[in-house]
Chains A and B, each alone.
Chain A
Amino acid sequence: MPAQVSIDVRGLTKRYGRLLAVDHISFQVYRGEVFSLLGPNGAGKTTTVSMLSTLRMPTEGDALVEGYSIVRDRTAVRRIIGVVPQDLTADDELTGFDNVLLMARLHGYRGKEAEERAKEAIRFMELEDAANRRVMYYSGGMRRRLEIAMSVVHDPQVVFLDEPTVGLDVQSRRHIWDLIRRLKKVGVTVVLTTHYMEEADELSDRVAIMDHGHIVALGSPDELKSRIKGDRIYLKLGSPDEVRRALEAISVEFKDVSEVDGQLVVKVPSSADAMPQLIKLLSSFDVRELRVVRPNLEEVFLELTGHGLRDEESFDTFKFRRLMGAMRS
């Protein structure tokens, strides 16, 4: 069965003054898949999602979300999508339940039905115990889950998550991942942005790698990793002199050998096959460390762009909100 298109992006562009944040990108997201935009901060992922979710108007281009244009049918798009933005948006003076109820009502549900839906979304995100507490007393992980609850209360067909696990501890992160898998299971199309390589690898059916406003590669995690063709073996040796001599010795048998930051990097189709020969060649050298790196998305990104996925955390929203809360009360 051919995959049905849920989101069709055509030449989408956003310009902020002279900065071209997103530069004529086109791609398709299939119905029911988890699609990731992977890239460093500033690559244009958030801007792309903001445009797709009608929060920002594209400078050029268009996209159809379940057939509705994000430029012309903005209200129709808003009805069928759920958005979990990077910033926290729940009203911290209201309870978790009231926040979710507000969303249900603004999507047109009334009376008992709105309340039932809110309760259901709270249950889905496992927040029952905290539902009647004001959001200002929530932990970071709870706030994230509340954001998702607020975004799925109206059973959207497409859910956008912008960096859903930034700043969370490992346990909360795993929890959010489980919830995203559950969304996929009930048939929701999920688009998420992340700069965590494991997150994209673990969750997505397909990944688009973004850098400087462009999509530099698109495919399933396995497809992307197969582009690297084989493993890399990193070698640390006793002295610079040894490195030079080892480079000569290994180059006799292996084609792709290079020196990076005082280490030798040997690219091989399969590390298991290459290892016996490599060890034989290295028998007379003082090898301090030998590391085999299997292909991963980080390596793919490095290969494609020549720079890494910088792992810096973004602005600390929690801290900011706590400060603001203190100011107001």
Chain B
Amino acid sequence: MIYEVWVLTWRELKKWWGRRGVFIVSLVTPLAWLGLFGKSINFTKIFSPSTFALSLPPQLQPYAPYIQKVMENASQTALVKLFGTTDYFSFLTTGMLVVFAFFQSAFGGVNIVFEKRLGSMNRLRMTPAPRFSIFLAKIVGTLIRIFFYETVLLVIALALGFKPDVTLLGFILSGVAIALLAIGFISLFEGIGFNVDNQEIMFSILNLINLPLMFASPVLFPLKQMPDWLQEVAKFNPLTYTADIVRYNMLGLHTVNYVEAWAILVGISAVLTIIGAWASLRVLENY
């Protein structure tokens, strides 16, 4: 079983490695998110006093320095109250690490739809390899890819001004949380991939799942500034808890109970994995 998983993972990685240009394309995405999104929505600058100072009426001009001081304090307070930090870029980076792993985990499922159509999945089914090893190898392979990109993303973020406050243990725990989230969703998407015959349907389902989950979570903006109903929805979203654990470990911020967050994340991940494994094996044994 372990040998088969290793062999099948080797196949995944060799195919991935062989795709020319895949690195560049994969690097552009996180760069664009962090560089454009993270830097363009610069809240510190938006609320900066110099922006307001220009519009002061002439009779108040002499007091400009005082007003600026007050404004500065006010904006800092507002930012801290909203994000827990004045550093939105760091806030976004931690969220990005979570959301990127989440999006990448869909690729395992998309792969399966193509491999079924191209016949290579049938070829694997002809061998005596345990059916579960086929399912498992996709998880391992996709997980390795995800952590490769996460590392690249982290390096880019550090270069762009990400300032984490993290211990080695915290760093590892953040990785574990992201891995748990990814395993759950890779399994789920595998299950969907095995049961869907057409890549267009697959992509539609992905968009249906991915975008709402991203927006109904604190990965880009804090929950506090969302309407109440959306905050309720976010409570059922594993991204919420993953982001919270990562921010707790890397920035010292959190909004939900830390232990609770772990328990819920582990629970959701386990449920998704079981559903995914069941749906995949059902098809693998007999389609």
Q: Shortest Cβ distance from A100 into chain B, in angstroms? A: 11
Q: Check if B127 sits within 8 Å of A98, measured CB to CB.
A: no
Q: Is B81 part of the binding interface, using a Cβ–Cβ cutoff of 8 Å?
A: no
Chain A residue nearest in CB terms to B15: A93
How far apart sit A329 and B22, CA to CA, in the bound complex (Å)?
9
How far apart sit A91 and B123, CA to CA, in the bound complex (Å)?
9
Q: Check if B118 sits within 8 Å of A324, measured CB to CB.
A: yes
Q: Is A119 part of the binding interface, using a Cβ–Cβ cutoff of 8 Å?
A: no
How far apart sit A107 and B123, CA to CA, in the bound complex (Å)?
12
Q: Is B167 part of the binding interface, using a Cβ–Cβ cutoff of 8 Å?
A: no
Chain A residue nearest in CB terms to B126: A83
Q: Is B124 part of the binding interface, using a Cβ–Cβ cutoff of 8 Å?
A: yes
Residues of B with C-beta under 8 A to A103: 123, 127
Interface residue ranges of B241-286 to A (CB < 8 Å):
285-286
How far apart sit A54 and B173, CA to CA, in the bound complex (Å)?
44
| Residue in A75, A76, A105, A106 with the greatest tally of chain B CB atoms within 10 Å | A106
Q: Check if A106 sits within 8 Å of B120, measured CB to CB.
A: no
**A91-B11 in contact given A75-B128, A106-B128 (Cβ < 8 Å):** yes
Q: Is A55 part of the binding interface, using a Cβ–Cβ cutoff of 8 Å?
A: yes
Q: Check if A91 sits within 8 Å of B120, measured CB to CB.
A: yes
Candidates A53, A98, A328; contact of B126 at CB < 8 Å:
A53
How far apart sit A75 and B126, CA to CA, in the bound complex (Å)?
9
How far apart sit A4 and B129, CA to CA, in the bound complex (Å)?
29
Q: Say what secondary structure dominates the interface of chain B.
A: helix
Candidates A76, A79, A92, A151; contact of B118 at CB < 8 Å:
A92
Q: Check if B123 sits within 8 Å of A150, measured CB to CB.
A: yes
Q: Check if A106 sits within 8 Å of B129, measured CB to CB.
A: yes
How many residues on B have C-beta within 8 angstroms of the other chain's C-beta atoms?
Answer: 27
How far apart sit A295 and B122, CA to CA, in the bound complex (Å)?
39
Q: Is A294 part of the binding interface, using a Cβ–Cβ cutoff of 8 Å?
A: no
Candidates A57, A78, A328; contact of B286 at CB < 8 Å:
A57
Candidates B3, B18, B122, B285; contact of A89 at CB < 8 Å:
B122
How far apart sit A329 and B8, CA to CA, in the bound complex (Å)?
22
Candidates B15, B130, B285, B286; contact of A91 at CB < 8 Å:
B15
Residues of A with C-beta under 8 A to B128: 75-76, 78-79, 106-108
Q: Check if B19 sits within 8 Å of A102, measured CB to CB.
A: no
**A94-B15 in contact given A55-B126, A103-B127 (Cβ < 8 Å):** yes
For the A-B complex with A56-B287, A106-B7 known, give 4 more contacts whose Cβ atoms are closer than 8 Å. A55-B122, A75-B130, A85-B119, A324-B114
| Partner-A contacts on B (CB < 8 A) | 3-4, 7-8, 11, 14-15, 18-20, 114, 117-120, 122-130, 285-287
A-B contact pairs, 26 of them (CB 8 A): A53-B126, A55-B122, A55-B125, A55-B126, A57-B285, A78-B127, A78-B128, A83-B126, A85-B123, A88-B119, A89-B118, A89-B122, A91-B15, A92-B118, A93-B15, A94-B11, A102-B7, A105-B7, A106-B7, A106-B124, A106-B127, A110-B3, A317-B119, A324-B118, A329-B19, A329-B20
Closest 3 CB pairs of A and B: A89-B123, A89-B119, A106-B127
